[in-house]
Every structure is written in C-alpha cells, then in structure tokens.
Amino acid sequence: MTGHAVSLSDIEALSLALDLHEPVGDHERDALKKLPVRSARIAAGKDIIRQGDRPTESCLLVEGILCRYKTLAQGQRQILSFHFPGEVPDLQSFHLHQMDHSLCALSDARLAYIPHSAITALLHDAPAMAAILWKATLVDASIFREWLAGVGRRSAPERMAHLFCELFVRMKLLGLVPGKRLHFPVTQTDLADALGLSLVHVNRTLQELRREGLISWIARDFVIEDWPRLKNFANFDPSYLHLRMPLPAEIA
Amino acid sequence: MTGHAVSLSDIEALSLALDLHEPVGDHERDALKKLPVRSARIAAGKDIIRQGDRPTESCLLVEGILCRYKTLAQGQRQILSFHFPGEVPDLQSFHLHQMDHSLCALSDARLAYIPHSAITALLHDAPAMAAILWKATLVDASIFREWLAGVGRRSAPERMAHLFCELFVRMKLLGLVPGKRLHFPVTQTDLADALGLSLVHVNRTLQELRREGLISWIARDFVIEDWPRLKNFANFDPSYLHLRMPLPAEIA
DNA sequence: CGACACATTGACCAGACTCAAAGCTAGTGG
DNA sequence: CCACTAGCTTTGAGTCTGGTCAATGTGTCG
C-alpha cells in the first residue's frame, strides 16, 4: 500500500500533482482525461530517455520513482531531481527538443507516454492548461535553484537533511507516505550523485543523521524520526516548492 | 560602446534575445512593441526584488548586468544566474507569485518594468508568445541544471572556466562582446558566490587560469585569450543553452 | 591624505575524497 | 540447503582540494 495513488487512474494522479500548485478546473480535468496515453513498464536502473535524444512524447510517471541526471565529460554523474507518481519529468521536452540530461528509473516503474502532439491538442482544447503546465515547469526550476544553493553553500549533513525534508513533504502531499516512513529505494551511490558528494562521505553523513536521531533507514525506507529537529537542522523552508495550500498540520 | 544593443529600443533587445531560442514572428514582435513599459534605472549593488516579495510586474533588462541569488539561513549567498540586456530574469514571477530568490544589479542598469497584467494581455493578443516565453523559462531552467552539475561535480578550475565559456557565448550572441573581451564587472566575491567557492580560492583559481594563458583580466573585463583551449579545458558543450542556430564560426 | 573596497598572499586547518579492504544480504544454481 | 556471486554498505588510513583567518597590497575617490 503506497497511499491512495494506487487507486487512481493515471491521469487522476497527474491532475492531483498539478493541483498542488494551481487549481485544475473541471473542464481542464476532463480535457486531461481525454489524453491518449500509451502505458509502459520500465525496470529499475533503465534509462527512459538519454541526453541528446529528441523525444516526440513526454512521460507521465504512474508508479515508481525516477530521477533525472547529467553525465559530464569524464563520466561523473549528477542527479538533478527525483520524481514521483503524477509528475511529468520530461515535460520540458515539449519545447526543448533536445534532451540536455537523461531520465532514469530508480525502481521498477509504470509510465504513461503522452505524444507531444496530444499536448498541443490539449492546449488548444483547454487553453487554461498552458498556464498550469508552464507553472509546473517553473516549480521544477525553483527546485533546481534550491538544489544549486544547497550544493554550493550547504554542508554535507545539512544538505542531506534538506533533501530528506524535501522528499518527505513532496511525497507526503502526493499521498505516498502513510506515516513517517518514505519508501525511497535509492543506493548510497545515488544519494552521493544527487548531493554532489562521494559515496564514502554519504555513508558517514548518513550515519551522523542516524546517530543524531533525525532519521533512520530500514530496508530501503527512510523514517523521519524527529521532523521538527530535522527541519530545523536543515533550515528547511518549503516556500521554494510554491505550494498552493499551507502544509498539513501533521508536517507543518 | 557595448555592442549594438544600445542602438535598439528596449523591446527590440527582448525580441532579439527570445529569437535566439525560438523564432519570433512579425505579429508577435508587433504585439511586444505595444507592451506598456515603465523605465527605471538602478544603481550597482541594489536589489531589484527580494526573496519573499510578491511582484506585480516583471523587469526587462535594457542595459547593465543583473544576477539572481538566494540567501540561506546563516547568511551564505549563492548566485543562481547572470543576466544580460534583452532578458527578463524574473519572468517566472508571472506564475510563481512569491519570489524564492532575489534579483540584484551588478552594474548600474536600466530596466523596463512590464506589468503582469500586460503579459496576460500580450498572451491574449498573440497566443504564440506563450510558447516563446515558456520556452525562455525552460532554457533558464536548463542553465540551472548545468550549474547544478558543475557545482556538484566539476573541479574549481573547470567550473570557473565553464562559467567563462557560458558568459562568452551568451554575451556574444546578444552582441555584447566586440572581440574576445567581456565587460563583466563582478568582484571575486561575486564569482565565489556563483561558483560555490570561497573568495580566497577564487582568487587562486583565477590566477591559475591566467597563468595557463586561458583568460586574462583587465580592469573589470575578462579577455578570452585562447578560446579553443578554454573550451576544451572546461569541457564546454553549448547544447544546454538550446540555441536555435549553430554557433557563429568565430566561436564555434 | 585618509578611507574604503577589493585583490593578493601566507599559514594553517578541515571537510570531503580516494583507495582499499572487509561485512552484509539477497538471489542463484548445484 | 548450502556454497557462490553480485551489489551494497561499512570501515580504515592517508591525502588533497578547498576553506578559514589574518595580514598586506593596490587603486579610487572625496
């Protein structure tokens, strides 16, 4: 049981995710439901699109976890973002025709591919969707800015704690976190590439956060052991997520 | 003389900058020219908008250089981007109502403020502008991704060289660089905050690039001394800038 | 001339990296 | 049911990139 997302249709998950930032009207929701989608499954570790590709469709994530990453000249990897059901991580490819990064499945995942031509038609039928989708890409960019500031200026422990705060809030709002336990099946290598750290240092930093009683880590799940202290330790302020509603009391 | 931008009207500079990524049609150009703008001057070092503000207009940069930055909890600053004439650095505030970062003038600058209501009207009169402006914000996001990868995974010298490559290409295409000499009046503190380094280390890294004969630095201007070697040293690949045309031969 | 902002240097320190080895755990095949 | 393997995690030791602190130059401007 991974929250209520499993009981929704693919498109309902999308409209739920969009709705976090901007209300989705009935007409728009109906237009979304008419999107012709092609379902696909992808295995953990597989790339969905690669840097340099010129896709003609974007993918809605229905189930599982994805990440975007860049590979630099000498093979270093930087993870740019993590993605959850209801998100369309490569929506930007609708306008930026060549991928400047890759998209990869961290777990086995279910996708719904949406042809770019269908997005064009959607924007024609429901012009208000343009603002909603544009805004979704702007929130995406805001998260990049926060990560940039973190990698540039936060210490390793604070940066890692901040990431857990972000994941907790985002996953919670998508209904993916029953209590305080995030199912987030990444390796420490993945964390290292997301945080701009080395594998060894991630291991030690993670131990530090556990020793401090801020989080724990059981079988691929992270548990938020002390949310107020974690938030405080990370100096986490969710305003960069540009949420439409205040945080639910449980995680305020 | 800072290139031909000075001889263009404010809006022509905007349409030139947008045109780098997506062709701007005649009708759209005309609609842009009807935008009601309010001119303003701002002194070097002054903030234009601050983190937390809720602006009702966006600003087109007409002359000078701006940067966006975040201030973290303990006062550390991370510069997120640099901006040149023709760009609208806070276009995202049209949809993201609260600023998650600040915008600041690095030099004395001239601005043209565009009310958000005028952007709404523009999109109504010239619907094709929506795609063009959306795309501009997507390119912005792509640059954040590249910076994120750089701060996360590139060494200090490579990261700094990469920044100079980006600035050279972007400024060149906007007509701001007569030969190989960029007028880019930042302090080493600014560079440090952009690169996620300390001031002292920036000073030494800059000396290294100068010693290597890659760049030089004369009275607030950076000179690209050896473009092929600089590009190579930085592993610079301009595709993340999502330019519509290939680079001009001079800087290919 | 004095003040101020910025650049440069030196000395020392530490957070984070690398290399290398050793545990764990889950899955596989005999 | 038990090796065996493969992929991760953990630990140790040594190194280095890049940070901090503090002082000294340099240039500009009133």
Q: DSSP per residue over A156-202, as a string?
A: HHHHHHHHHHHHHHHHHHTT--SSSEEE----HHHHHHHHT--HHHH
pLDDT recorded at residue A3:
38
A131 CB within 8 Å of a chain B CB: yes
Q: What is the pLDDT at residue A4?
A: 41
Nucleotide nearest to A219 (CA to C1'): C25
What are the pLDDT digits (tens) for A58-75?
999 999 999 999 999 999
* pTM value > 0.85: yes
Question: Band of the pLDDT at A10, cuts 50, 70, 90?
Answer: confident
Nearest nucleotide relative to A189: CA against C1': D8
Cite residues whose beta carbon is less than 7 Å from strand C: A 155-157, 196-201, 205, 219; B 187-189, 199-200, 203-204, 206-207
Output the distance from A155 CA to D28 C1' rounded to whole Å.
Answer: 37
Nearest chain A residue to B52, by CA: A239
Q: Which residues contact B113 (CB under 8 A, 6 or more apart)?
A: B37, B38, B39, B40, B57, B58, B59, B60
Nucleotide nearest to A187 (CA to C1'): D8
**Closest to B104 in 3D by CA, of B164, B40, B41, B44:** B44
pLDDT of A252 reads: 82
Q: What are phi and psi of B231, to 5 degrees?
A: -60, -40
A18-56 residue pLDDT tens: 999 999 999 999 999 999 999 999 999 999 999 999 999
Which residues in chain A are closer than 8 Å to B232, comparing Cβ atoms? none
- B89-129 residue pLDDT tens: 999 999 999 999 999 999 999 999 999 999 999 999 999 99
Check residue A211 and give its pLDDT: 96
Give the type of residue at A86.
G
Restricting to B residues 21-60, those with a Cβ less than 8 Å away from any Cβ of A are 22, 52
Q: How far apart are CA A129 and CA A20, in angstroms?
A: 14
What is the per-residue burial (b if ≥16 Cβ within 10 Å, else e) of B68-85? bbbebeeeebbbbbbbbb
Shortest alpha-carbon distance between residue A175 and chain B (Å)? 24
